[in-house]
Copies of this chain bind each other. A is one copy, B any other.
Amino acid sequence: MKKISDSTISRLSTYYRTLSNLIDQGIETVSSDEIAEINNITSAQVRKDLSFFGSFGKRGLGYNTKALREEIAKILGLKKEWNIALVGVGNIGRALIDYEEFRKQGFIIKALFDKDRKKIGKEIKGLRINDIDDACYVTKEKNIEIAIIAVPAKNAQAVVDSLVACGIRAFLNFAPITIKVPSNVTVKNENMSIELEALSYYLTQSN
């Protein structure tokens, strides 16, 4: 399979949501033009993105919404549940524990970590807060595959290093720094300013 760009992957996530919404509305077929219009991109882009994975649609007939969503789910690895560790039980961490979209998409927070002695041993939503020093033991026991990093910037690299040493290969990083990892490990950064900057752009251009 060809190497697929990050922006294609991100658009596939968007198409997945679009299809889920259409299915919820009882809509059975959709054209690339319609998917494009809902998401404010060109239909050529939609067709190009989907062409990476072979041909799902029939010319002139559009795509079957359920079949296409199923294919995208397979590609994105959404046909299984993923066990997630959340590191850092501050404000962002607590918000993420409550974030229902994660569970809906099959991302299940199974372990919490912090290094604050006052938090360790307490429970949130039935999950015990573990000492980050026990990371290897707990991540193995709970079969953790992805870690969410919600610690202060100054601690983030050290936390990731220790989890990489435990065998974790995928990180979602909320700390505003660039994390260095070996080439077989993937870090995605969640920077909530980026969408605000897009709004700032639109307001600036339209004034």
Q: Which residues of A contact B (CB under 8 A)?
A: 1, 5-7, 9-14, 16-17, 21, 40-41, 75-78, 82, 84, 90-92, 94-96, 98-102, 104-107, 145-146, 169-172, 176, 178, 184, 186, 188-206
Chain B residues positioned under 8 Å from A170 (CB to CB) = 199, 202-203
Question: How many Å from the CB of A92 to the closest CB on chain B?
Answer: 4
Q: Are B193 and A107 in contact (CB under 8 A)?
A: yes
In Å, the complex CA distance between A84 and B203 comes to: 13
Partner of A203, one of B16, B169, B197: B169
Q: Are A96 and B195 in contact (CB under 8 A)?
A: no
Q: Are A6 and B186 in contact (CB under 8 A)?
A: no
Chain B residues positioned under 8 Å from A13 (CB to CB) = 191, 193-194, 197-198
Question: How many Å from the CB of A3 to the closest CB on chain B?
Answer: 10
Q: Are B191 and A172 in contact (CB under 8 A)?
A: no
Q: Are B172 and A195 in contact (CB under 8 A)?
A: yes
Chain B residues positioned under 8 Å from A191 (CB to CB) = 13, 17, 101
